[in-house]
Structure formats: C-alpha cells, structure tokens
Amino acid sequence: MTEIPEHLLKRSQDAKAKADGDSAPPPQSVAQSDDDGETIPRSLLEQSQQEGAAAPAGGGVATIAPPAMAGPSGNTHRLLTVVKSGSIQDVKASPGDKVHVWPHLLAPEFTAALFITAFTLVFSLFINAPLLELANHNATPNPSKAPWYFLGLQELLTMFDPMIAGVTAPGIVLVLLGFAPYIDRNPSNAPEDRKFAISIQTIHLMFWAVLVIIGSFFRGQGFNFTYPWDTGLHGIFHL
C-alpha cells in the first residue's frame, strides 16, 4: 500500500478540521486510533453493528447514515473501511518502470567486460595457443580432426552417408533454426506454455554437445572410439 506523505495527511486533516469547524475533530483520528491496517477498525464495526440492529433493511449494502444519526462526535459521515489498493486495483509494473542506463546498465556491462578481459589475459598467460609443425600435405596426422565446433558433423560422418551427415542434417538444422520464429506459432513465452519447444531445443543442443564431446575426447587413431583415460588428454588445448 502506498504511503501517503506525512505533510499531505496533515494538510488534509487541517483542511477537514477547518471545514468541520473547530468543535469537530477529524474523523480519521477515530479510524486511525485502532486501525491495524488489516481489518475493519473495531470501533467502526461496533458502530455499524449497532446501526445494523437499528435498521435491518440496510442489509450488507453500505448505506449513508442520515444526518439525524450523527456519530458520537457529531460528524455526518462514516469511514466504512480502509481497503488496500492491491485488493481492488491490479498493480503491475507499468511501462514507465524504467531505470537509467547510466549507471544501472553501463556499470554491469563494464564489469563484465573487465571480467572477460581479465579471464582471457590470465588464461593466455598460462596456456599457449598451439603451433604444430609446418603444414605438410604428405603427412596426414592421425586422427585428423575438424575444429571442435564442427566435430559434431565429423562425428555424424562416421555414421551416415556424407550426403546425409555433411549436407542434409546440418542444412535442415540451420533452416529450422533460422525460421524458428515463423515455425513456433505459440505466442506465449512462459516456460510452462512452451514445454514442446523447450524440450525439442534442449534435445537438439544436447545432441550436438554430446557429439562434440565424443569427437573431442573419445576419438583416437583412425577416428576409432577410445576412452580419454586410455589415450590421455595431452592434446586437449590443441584447439
């Protein structure tokens, strides 16, 4: 519930006191005295029950008390209840809920940039980029591997015809990936509404991840299956 600033409250009380005349105290003072913010103040409840007994025709509907039934201090209106704004108004983050890019976005961006620079620098201090012997067309290394991000494709080549593994499969994947927004007609972006899309993408990503891992660590001489603990990981940074 929004806090009403103190000075506004005071001003409104002053204005009410002035309108009611000095004899009548402001009605809020009655309501606030036992208002715990949750329930109808006890004094008002009792008052309304008494009045309800006197006029049963009123039912549950809030009725305006006639001036004849003025309150104990002579005021001619009643405060029925205080309703928290959230219960009747749908309070949402409005489009106006914005923050300044400086510093709220630039500072994290700068931190991230510093972090990645530091990481790359430290990593580069300790691990050197590979430089093997001069390129030689007559000495084929065994195994010959593509860069790691193409190892999934190379892995597929061991299982399928090149037409399928080298062309059809990656082609279909790239086309599907590129046209994903036009294929997925589901307008929701809530995860619970997108179980199929999320599942299929996770399977797809895991498919390549597993193939790349197998290609990187589980392929030895002749691109035959091997375990990394048999052949060792000495070439792990030959990337």
Partner 1 sequence: MVMPTECDSEEQTKLMAKNIEKRKQSLPEKLQQGATAATDWMQDSQFWTSVFRPGSIFRKGYTDSPRNRSYVIMNSVLYHLHPVKVKRHAVKVSYTLCLGGLSFFLFILLTITGIFLMFFYRPTAAAAWSDIESLHTQVSFGLLVRNMHRWGAHLMVISVFLHMARVFYHGAYKAPREFNWVVGVMLLKLTLLLSFTGYLLPWDQLSLWAVTVGTNMMGFTPVFGDQVRFVLLGGKQIGAETLLRWYVLHVLMLPFTLVIFLAIHFWRVRKDGGISGPL
Name the residue with tokens 């300044």.
Answer: 100
Q: 150 or 207, CB closer to partner 1?
A: 150
Q: Is the distance from CB of 204 to CB of 173 less than 8 angstroms?
A: yes
Encoded tokens for 19: 């309108």
Min dist. Cβ of residue 26 to partner 1 (A): 37
**What whole-number distance in Å separates Cα of residue 42 and Cα of residue 94?**
36
Q: What are phi and psi of 130, to 5 degrees?
A: -70, 145
Min dist. Cβ of residue 117 to partner 1 (A): 7
DSSP-derived 3-state class of residue 225: strand
Min dist. Cβ of residue 222 to partner 1 (A): 14
Q: What are phi and psi of 219, to 5 degrees?
A: -125, 120
Q: 85 or 140, CB closer to partner 1?
A: 140
Q: Is the distance from CB of 35 to CB of 41 less than 8 angstroms?
A: yes
Min dist. Cβ of residue 53 to partner 1 (A): 51
**What whole-number distance in Å separates Cα of residue 32 and Cα of residue 82?**
10
CA 230-232-236 angle, 5° bins:
140
Going from the C-alpha of 225 to that of each of 56, 155, 168, 231, the distances in angstroms are 89, 11, 24, 11
Min dist. Cβ of residue 220 to partner 1 (A): 15
Min dist. Cβ of residue 29 to partner 1 (A): 38
**What whole-number distance in Å separates Cα of residue 116 and Cα of residue 118?**
5
